[in-house]
Amino acid sequence: MGLVEGEATLIGWREVGPGVRHFVFEAPAPLEFLPGQFVSFSGEIGGRKVTRAYSFAAPPAGERFELCLNRVEGGPFSSYLFTLEAGARVPMKAPYGAFTWREPASDSLLIATGTGIAPFLAMLPPRLAKDTVNRYTLLFGARHFLYREELERLARGHENFRLLPTLTRPPAGWTGLTGHVQAHLADLAGSRRDWIVYLCGLKAMVDDVRRILKEWGFDRRQIVYEKYD
Ligand SMILES: Cc1cc2nc3c(=O)[nH]c(=O)nc-3n(C[C@H](O)[C@H](O)[C@H](O)COP(=O)(O)OP(=O)(O)OC[C@H]3O[C@@H](n4cnc5c(N)ncnc54)[C@H](O)[C@@H]3O)c2cc1C
């Protein structure tokens, strides 16, 4: 799997939630990556070179790659990316990262918060297309239900995939889970200690969930994680 280095061209973007955008880019050469990996973007901002990582938010598709990003208040690179329009070029290197499916496949609990959903958007479709045996549960915590249509479609199409969104700002009439992911862990895990758990999001959530799982007796090799900060 070779490293692709050069400039990515922005094809377009769409809003997927307040302050959250889904970007489509084109790499200078076909990009081979394992779902769950990321691209490293760089740029010069205020006279300084800034480099940031972004998880691929869709399975590999030739030169095309997709990202899910939120604009961080006061954050230099995310703010810069939010000013870009189609045709803009961004220096890139990819792929990197080890947040990928562990083999052999097994029943898995996936936990994402906010834009931490990105790698799962790349990982789940190809995995569910070939694995109808193991069970995959996605606990997805966010202010707003990002990618609702795509995720609900995936859940409808695969009975071994269970989607559990938990919202911290639920809309009127919401009957699903609310609050932080941590609040639902005990109910979800019950007495199960055989899962592989995949975690993606900010450090505070990832560290907290890892601590809880370890207290319950999960081995560290059963916990695979990506921290965004
Ligand atoms: C392996 C990896 C993959 C990543 N994938 C993504 C991704 O797919 N989408 C994405 O939006 N970000 C992702 N990030 C975070 C991203 O690299 C940047 O840190 C983020 O865009 C903020 O950059 P900034 O320069 O604007 O602000 P910075 O100055 O770098 O960060 C400012 C603050 O923002 C917080 N922060 C960082 N990322 C986020 C976030 N996503 N949401 C809320 N707060 C955040 C940090 O805690 C930090 O304190 C990833 C990070 C890593 C290490």
pLDDT mean over 209-214: 97
pLDDT tens string 96-144: 999 999 999 999 999 999 999 999 999 999 999 999 999 999 999 999 9
37 C-beta closer than 6 A to ligand 1: no
Radius of gyration of the chain (CA): 18
pLDDT tens string 45-98: 989 999 999 999 999 999 999 999 999 999 999 999 999 999 999 999 999 999
221, two tokens: 């090799």
52 C-beta closer than 6 A to ligand 1: yes
Distance 103 CA to ligand 1 centre (A): 28
d(C-alpha 140, C-alpha 114), whole Å: 8
d(C-alpha 71, C-alpha 94), whole Å: 22
> Considering all CA atoms of the chain, what is the largest pairwise distance in Å, rounded to the nearest integer?
54
Counting ligand 1 atoms within 8 A of each CB, the residue from 34, 50, 52, 224 with the most, and so the one to mutate, is: 52
| Atom number of ligand 1 nearest to Cα 54 | 5
Q: Is a pLDDT exceeding 80 seen at residue 40? A: yes
